[in-house]
Structure 1
Amino acid sequence: MKKEKYKILILPLCFFINIFNAQIGIGTGNPQGMFHVDGAKDNPTSGTPTPAQLSNDIVIDKVTGFIGAGVLTPQVQLDMRSTANENSLGIGTTSMLANAAGAGAVRYDVNNTPVGAKIEVSDGTVWHKAYVAPQKAVVVVRKIVSQSIPTASATTIINWNEVRDMSNSFNPSSGEFTAPRNGTYTFLLTFNFNGTVITDGSRVESQFYNPATSTVLASVYKTFGQSMTGSSDDANATRSTQAGGSSTVTLTLDAGTRVSVRLYQNLASSAIPLRVTTDPLNPANPDDGFNNLTVIEH
């Protein structure tokens, strides 16, 4: 009789099976679910792995069948809420029609039409771009540093004290606001000068100015048509008066457009300082709160 030779192939043991509980572990002899992959092979031989050890694991729950990526007890069919820093879902693009992909399908659209690359969701008929509302620009600044406005010369108000800037769109030092996106913006300026004798027929002009193009985008005038002289009961003495006012404009701006606020005055023959507080930490100071700028994106 011819004797046949048999070769024995020995395979390395690369996974573990818990026969009694029907659990399979790859990279671990201590599976925590129906199927458990320990990517870094750092789990303990007994007991429950730590969140850090689980962060590189894949677990299929033995009761629900849900998949946990770095999660021991997934709460949904695919749960990725682990302690790792890479908890994000990578989505690719597809040319499938929305009805072929089915309602609830998600893709990453890279066609940049019409508003740039976006996540899209299928309703079973059409792909719809997911809208994420941006943080709108809200700027509130005030003047607490003295600044003189020369006569008959439009001067940019600089060195503002920033109270709020929701989108980091304002430079307090230069006094420039930069539109974060195409849109509509409202600017509200209040101003007040130190007391001086005001010339008849003088004016203050608030200018909303683009320093990049040297263009006045909008301006608001306040005129002073009466002389500030005393009545007969005070010997016709000339009196000092504080000139002030407010200006509101709404502008449609392209992203990146810079806007600063300028004041022009011909109230007197010399420069006039803006009225600012000497005690900015005390809101009850009588000089507090007169020169302010607010910018709101619609």
Structure 2
Amino acid sequence: MKKYILSILSFIPFIVYSQIGIGTQAPQQLVHIDAAKNNNNADPSGTPEESDDVVITNKGMIGVGTITPKTRLDLRGEGNKNAIGIGITNQTASAANIGAIQYYNDGTEWGISYSNGTNWVKSPSSPVKALVYAGKSTAQTFYSGTASNVIDWVELVDRTNSFEPSTGVFTAPRDGVYIVSFNIVTVANNINNNSNTETILTSTATEGVREFRCVNAYPGYNTGTANNRTGNNCTAIFKLKTGETIRPNFLQNFNSSASSTSNQIDNSITITQL
């Protein structure tokens, strides 16, 4: 009996101080898994071979892709495959307890939220801000004395899918301040004395200025008429709420119809959320 007891006692230190290696005969931590078996039974620290290793230290820290974890769970290994996947949970925040995190997607918003022990709190994030750039490559006729919506745009950039090119209407995707620049050029036409054009930006804003009018005047006095193109621009800043709109308009009083050019460089609209 004494011999058996001595044999067991002599084996205990080996169990306590040994390291477990899976796929390697040279484990570097308490538990060391070399998934690809590519360490060649050597220390893989700082080499590409470390990227497929998983370890558990004698302090209870887990390393994935690194054999020297500095936190409870450390994925900061070599290479660019260190992402961590977080899913959606149906647990309540109180059941998950303080500090738990989850991915959320409610159909309109998505991101990371954390539990404060009572509620899931969405982490602040910067939403994609609206940016629109469109040109107009088809001529449009404008009749004297009548303000007309400028339509049939060619959409080149629209980050938030907020601009309708067929109508020229922009719909604010969220509350914010928007700066708008609108350019339109008319083809050569007779311009009577004391004529003018108005490049107009109008909105459905419930706060601030709703409409901006930028005027080009042609005070010819007794010089007769001129046959020329007109270049027109208006830049304005709007404070919009979600769902409020902006649209470009043009007015001329040449006492005859006038048409825009069909050049996208001449005719453009830019909308930027600040």
Opposite residue 42 of structure 2, the aligned amino acid is S
Question: Can you list the C-alpha shifts for 1:233-273, whole angstroms capped at 9, x where unaligned?
Answer: xxx4433563534153634444xx99764545453524344
Aligned counterparts, 1:133-172, within 5 A: 133-139=126-132, 148-152=139-143, 154-156=149-151, 158-159=153-154, 165=157, 167=159, 169=161
Question: What is residue 228 of structure 1 aligned with on the other side?
Answer: 220
Asked if the contact 1:276–1:291 (Cα under 8 Å) also holds between the matched residues in 2, the reply is yes
Question: What is residue 78 of structure 1 aligned with on the other side?
Answer: 73
1-structure distance, mates of 2:260, 2:120: 59
Q: More strand per residue: 1 or 2?
A: 2
Which residue, 123, 148, 158 being the options, matches 1:130?
A: 123
- TM-score for the superposition, normalised by structure 2: 0.62
2-structure distance, mates of 1:23, 1:128: 42
Asked if the contact 2:133–2:158 (Cα under 8 Å) also holds between the matched residues in 1, the reply is no
Q: More helix per residue: 1 or 2?
A: 2
Which residue, 249, 252, 269 being the options, matches 2:256?
A: 269
Which residue, 94, 98, 102 being the options, matches 1:97?
A: 94
Asked if the contact 1:33–1:61 (Cα under 8 Å) also holds between the matched residues in 2, the reply is yes
Asked if the contact 2:184–2:267 (Cα under 8 Å) also holds between the matched residues in 1, the reply is yes
% identical equivalent positions: 23
Question: Can you list the C-alpha shifts for 1:89-144, whole angstroms capped at 9, x where unaligned?
Answer: 3345222517x713x3324456x49x756532234554422122112123456x6x
Which residue, 187, 198, 201 being the options, matches 2:191?
A: 198
Structure 2 stretches lacking a partner, 5+ long: 1-13, 204-209
2-structure distance, mates of 1:177, 1:74: 55
2-structure distance, mates of 1:147, 1:120: 48
CA shift for structure 1 position 84 = 5.7
Aligned length: 246
Matched, 1:28 2:27: no
Asked if the contact 1:191–1:246 (Cα under 8 Å) also holds between the matched residues in 2, the reply is no
Matched, 1:297 2:269: no
- TM-score for the superposition, normalised by structure 1: 0.58
2-structure distance, mates of 1:166, 1:31: 54
What secondary structure sits across from 1:37 in the alignment?
A: strand
The 1:20–1:121 alpha-carbon spacing in structure 2 relative to 1, beyond 3 Å, is closer
1-structure distance, mates of 2:167, 2:224: 39
CA shift for structure 1 position 69 = 1.0
Matched, 1:37 2:25: no
Aligned counterparts, 1:48-59, within 5 A: 48=44, 52-59=48-55
The 1:53–1:84 alpha-carbon spacing in structure 2 relative to 1, beyond 3 Å, is farther
Which residue, 112, 120, 128 being the options, matches 1:119?
A: 112
2-structure distance, mates of 1:273, 1:166: 23
Structure 1 stretches lacking a partner, 5+ long: 1-17, 210-217, 231-235, 281-289
RMSD: 4.7
The 1:147–1:109 alpha-carbon spacing in structure 2 relative to 1, beyond 3 Å, is closer
Asked if the contact 1:171–1:177 (Cα under 8 Å) also holds between the matched residues in 2, the reply is yes
The 1:224–1:28 alpha-carbon spacing in structure 2 relative to 1, beyond 3 Å, is closer
What secondary structure sits across from 1:97 in the alignment?
A: helix
